[in-house]
Structure 1
Amino acid sequence: MRKYGILGHPLGHSLSPQIHTALFALDGETVDYQMYDITPEELHDKFDFLSTLDGFNITIPHKVSIIDFCDRLDAGAQRYRSVNCIKVGKDEKIGYNTDVIGFTKSITALGASLNSRVLLIGCGGVGRMMAIETALEGGDLTIAALQSDKALAEEVVREIKALKPDAKVRIAFISGAALDRCDLPEGAQFDLLVNACPVGMFPKVDRMPSTPAVLDGVKYVFDAVYNPKVTLLAKTAREKGAKSMTGMAMLVLQAVAAHEIWDNASYKTEDINKIISDMEDLI
């Protein structure tokens, strides 16, 4: 039986075993998929053990430090210096970043395009990746950030300009508890709003990262938060006529990308949608 797993600390109630077990089942295979809760101090001592697996996923806090384990990185992992999926082969161990794939596939599934007028709330962690991908796709990007994240936002803009000197990108600073119209350039209109911050996550489900007015005229909303399955931001966007999606799709689609890497697997859209729905029912 092949062996896979997820590596992180602390892992808590990760959905990765359920998602990957379901994907392997679609392939007609039963595998041993375990959670490996390993502290940062233990990581390098576990490299020999990790080499015995067929592949594994990585979450915080190991996405950068696990690079030392890899013989080679794919383009996405190189760009973001972050690895969340590894294929352990006979001759080499290759690190990948499937968060990128999960995000871009989610935007496509939503029916939206990054090559449009995009408002991104938050630029740390996954937000940095979302900002850079949007700019590389040709989007006209506005990054909304807290004043306390000014240095972080400016660093993301510098990264974008280094990769794409003609990128259209600007920063808007959030002046209150949530992003408001007054924080944005006068008359600014957006096709897609992406939320990369944790506001609205369980248990504080009665909050959203922007005021309802910010959603006026927005056609699509992608909220990276996946618990609850319908955030207040997504619900408000739908009430205003926008199409919205929350983060469970991204979580499942990055797992699908891992299976494409490990086994060159392919799945029917309806099967993936069922897994997304099943995982939402678990939270």
Structure 2
Amino acid sequence: MTENKNVFGILGHPLGHTLSPQIHTRLFEISGEQAEYKILDTPPEKLTDSFEYFKSLTGFNITIPYKIDIIKMCDTLDDTAKRYNSVNCIANVNGVSTGYNTDCTGFTKAVGAMGMTLTNKVLLLGCGGVGRMMAIEAVREGGELTIAVRDADIPVAKALCEEIKQNYNSAKVEFCLLSEVKGDFDLMVNATPVGMYPNTDASPLTEEALGRITLNGFFDAIYNPRETKLMKMASDKGVKKVSGGMQMLVWQAAVAHTIWSGAEYTAEQVQAISDEMMRLV
């Protein structure tokens, strides 16, 4: 197998609007590395046949819909990948492919960049793929977690709460309906796609529901648009610390570079790249 040294890429399908090449190119520039970053748009029927080529790369990122399917290519998994049964970054070293999940570190870094933590009372909207990760990270940090979901997602939320309590004995976690949220929280996190482009007039919470809670901060995993309807509602309500998801996107990419080459990035450098990427959205 021919080694493609210092060649990286983003695997997914379709990949028409990915920002990964721009983000990673900037990260390579900052660290002074000479590298090539490719778009690896691969249809499902060609995924397995492409494994040999993927293994020839120094490393690559994985996005929808292959974060689980790619696991069978890995020779070993980092604890982050095992925790979520999801791989979004692979490093190929001496013929060994190791799978990682950098979304979780990207999330906690982005929350930290807001000047917030997950150690207090957290209200999580949604419990899908990214929501499950955010719920577990909040509990791992010692947060007191409330998961708010639609009626249709109650079975998923119940199962997630039971899973968390089994794996983390001291966990404080409960769930409720989005329409019934109330109380005081330190941080609210939106893990739903509601409000994402092009449906920018939508919000997972009504004005009435938002009015029943108090918040110190709000993190929305959505990064397009720059300000979701719920972000604006929170700002108008007087919430001081409000952030969209671009920081998380850039941080999870930066963590991949740390895995691949040991490169480290400051909060200021990640913020600068986030600002650049927001101008491209």
Match of 1:150 among 145, 150, 154: 154
**Which position in structure 2 is the counterpart of 1:56?**
60
Paired residue type of 1:248 = M
Any stretches of 5+ residues in structure 2 without a counterpart? none
- Identical residues among aligned pairs (%): 50
Give the Å deviation of 1:139.
Answer: 1.0
How many Å separate the matches in 2 of 1:225 and 1:31?
Answer: 29
Paired residue type of 2:166 = A
TM-score normalised per structure 2: 0.94
The 5-angstrom pairing of residues 200-279 of structure 1 reads: 200-213=195-208, 214=210, 216-242=213-239, 243-279=241-277
Q: Deviations over 1:196-220 (max 9, x none)?
A: 0011111121222112342642000
Q: Secondary structure at the match of 2:94?
A: coil
How many Å separate the matches in 2 of 1:217 and 1:171?
Answer: 18
How many Å separate the matches in 1 of 2:22 and 2:83?
Answer: 29
Paired residue type of 1:193 = M
Q: Secondary structure at the match of 1:108?
A: helix
Q: Secondary structure at the match of 1:165?
A: coil
Give the Å deviation of 1:51.
Answer: 1.1
How many Å separate the matches in 2 of 1:165 and 1:268?
Answer: 35
Q: Deviations over 1:115-157 (max 9, x none)?
A: 1111100000100100111112111111001111122111211
TM-score normalised per structure 1: 0.93
**Which position in structure 2 is the counterpart of 1:104?**
108
Paired residue type of 1:209 = P
Of 28-37 and 64-73, deviating more is 28-37
The 5-angstrom pairing of residues 174-189 of structure 1 reads: 174=178, 179=179, 183-184=180-181, 188-189=183-184
The 5-angstrom pairing of residues 8-47 of structure 1 reads: 8-47=12-51
How many Å separate the matches in 2 of 1:269 and 1:184?
Answer: 33
Verify the 8 A CA contact 1:4 1:54 in the aligned structure 2: yes
Q: Deviations over 1:248-275 (max 9, x none)?
A: 0100000000001101101233221110
Q: Secondary structure at the match of 2:104?
A: helix
Verify the 8 A CA contact 2:113 2:267 in the aligned structure 1: no
**Which position in structure 2 is the counterpart of 1:3?**
7
**Which position in structure 2 is the counterpart of 1:172?**
176
Q: Secondary structure at the match of 2:61?
A: strand
**Which position in structure 2 is the counterpart of 1:67?**
71
Verify the 8 A CA contact 1:21 1:30 in the aligned structure 2: no
How many Å separate the matches in 2 of 1:68 and 1:47?
Answer: 10
Paired residue type of 1:141 = L
Give the Å deviation of 1:184.
Answer: 2.7
How many Å separate the matches in 2 of 1:212 and 1:264?
Answer: 45
**Which position in structure 2 is the counterpart of 1:78?**
82
How many Å separate the matches in 1 of 2:266 and 2:214?
Answer: 33
**Which position in structure 2 is the counterpart of 1:120?**
124
Paired residue type of 2:257 = H
